[in-house]
């Protein structure tokens, strides 16, 4: 009954008094490599930089991890992160995909832009390396809207510029967030209950932590220890 009431309240934009926030940070410890730069051997034009900063593993000086995807799974009312705006944007800007990680619900649309003064060849692959679509995107071309067939982790690459890649995580109806440059994330409007909090990162793998919510949590901390084996890259 409580979940039914929560679903009604959330559908009208009303926050139940007993709904909690889960706020925390994701960190890394151990002998993890410093962020790397990628040498550009075949430059598309003379003004192109010699190197591009890799976004595969972004860790702050304090050891906090960016681009970790945090999801909450369990007996949740419908709604989650859904909003009236169901279009998510992936741009190609300054020779990279922006943002590096997109998280979106299954029913949403991904709008792919090209803000670079050059042609890009956008390709998306599922977890089995099966290609889903390929888009020729000229300089100044129109945006392309795409959808994904099922929840999962998808990688988007440029077939011309090999260093360019991003991840799209398509979620069922769950709560989710992406950690910022300080490693922080926030999951809002969580009813009291028992859940699994899952953390995913493209390099460090996935972790699942049991979590009981009895009120707002503002000091959750998970630390990846790179000396331990990573798990499969699922969510």
Host domain of residue 109: 83-172
User: From CA 100, how far away is CA 157, in angstroms rounded?
Assistant: 11
Report strand pairing: 101-105 vs 69-73: unpaired
> Into how many domains does the chain fold?
2
Q: Is the domain of 167 the same as that of 189?
A: no
Q: The CATH number of the domain where 104 resides is what?
A: 2.60.40.420
Confidence at residue 124, expressed as pLDDT on a 0 to 100 scale: 98
User: pTM for the complete prediction?
Assistant: 0.83
pLDDT in tens, 196-228: 999 999 999 999 999 999 999 999 999 999 875
Which tens digits make up the pLDDT trace of 75-106?
776 656 555 458 999 999 988 999 999 999 88
Residue finishing a domain among 172, 194, 223: 172
The reply to whether 140 and 189 lie within a common domain is no
**Last residue of a domain, which of 129, 148, 172?**
172
Residues 6 and 71 in one domain: yes
Please check whether residues 129 and 97 belong to one and the same domain: yes
Same domain, 72 and 183: yes
Domain match, 182 and 69 both: yes
Buried-state track 162-200, b at ≥16 Cβ within 10 A, e below 16: ebbbbbbbbbebbbbbbbbeebebebebbbebebebbbb
CB 158 within 8 A of CB 120: yes
- b (16+ CB within 10 A) / e for 96-123: bbebbbbbbbeebebebbbebeeebebb
Same domain, 165 and 185: no
Mark whether 12 and 125 lie in a shared domain. no
């Amino acid at each position: 009954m409580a979940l039914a009431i929560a679903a009604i309240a959330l559908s009208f934009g009303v926050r139940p008094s007993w709904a909690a926030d889960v706020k925390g940070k994701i960190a890394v410890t151990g002998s993890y490599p410093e962020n790397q730069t990628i040498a550009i051997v075949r430059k598309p034009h003379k003004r192109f930089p010699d190197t591009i900063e890799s976004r595969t593993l972004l860790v702050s000086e304090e050891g906090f991890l960016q681009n970790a995807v945090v999801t909450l799974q369990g007996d949740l009312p419908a709604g989650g992160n859904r909003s009236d705006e169901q279009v998510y944007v992936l741009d190609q800007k300054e020779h990279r995909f922006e943002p590096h990680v997109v998280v979106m619900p299954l029913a949403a649309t991904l709008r792919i832009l090209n803000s670079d003064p050059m042609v890009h060849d956008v390709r998306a692959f599922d977890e089995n390396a099966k290609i889903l679509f390929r888009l020729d995107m000229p300089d100044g071309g129109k945006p392309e809207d795409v959808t994904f067939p099922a929840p999962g982790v998808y990688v988007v690459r440029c077939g011309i510029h090999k260093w360019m890649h991003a991840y799209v995580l398509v979620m069922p109806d769950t709560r989710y967030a992406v950690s910022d440059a300080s490693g922080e994330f926030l999951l809002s409007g969580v009813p009291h209950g028992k859940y699994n909090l899952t953390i995913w990162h493209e390099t460090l793998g996935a972790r699942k932590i049991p979590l009981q919510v009895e009120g707002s949590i503002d000091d959750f901390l998970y630390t990846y220890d790179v000396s331990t084996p990573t798990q499969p890259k699922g969510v």
